[in-house]
């Protein structure tokens, strides 16, 4: 499973900005995962 973050710090923001494509997923405890590509 992926990492849960409460906020995006500058190091992680730099990593994200350097990617050609990035996937963001969200879900509540009792729901399905919603995954969408960004970029």
pLDDT tens per residue across span 1-27: 677 889 999 999 999 899 888 788 888
| Rounded-to-integer distance, Cα 39 and Cα 16, Å | 10
Average pLDDT over residues 24-33: 87
The yes-or-no verdict on residue 30 having pLDDT over 80 is yes
Domain that holds residue 13: 1-39
In total, how many domains does the chain have? 1
User: Which 3 state secondary structure label does DSSP give 29?
Assistant: coil
| Rounded-to-integer distance, Cα 13 and Cα 18, Å | 9
Residue with tokens 């997923």: 25
**Tell me, what's the pLDDT at 1?**
62
CA distances 17 to 1, 9, 13, 28, 38, Å, are: 22, 12, 6, 26, 11
The predicted model scores a pTM of: 0.51
**Tell me, what's the pLDDT at 10?**
97
């Amino acid at each position: 499973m992926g990492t849960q973050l409460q906020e995006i710090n500058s190091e992680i923001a730099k990593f994200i900005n350097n990617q050609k494509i990035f996937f963001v997923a969200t879900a509540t405890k009792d729901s399905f995962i919603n995954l969408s590509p960004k970029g």
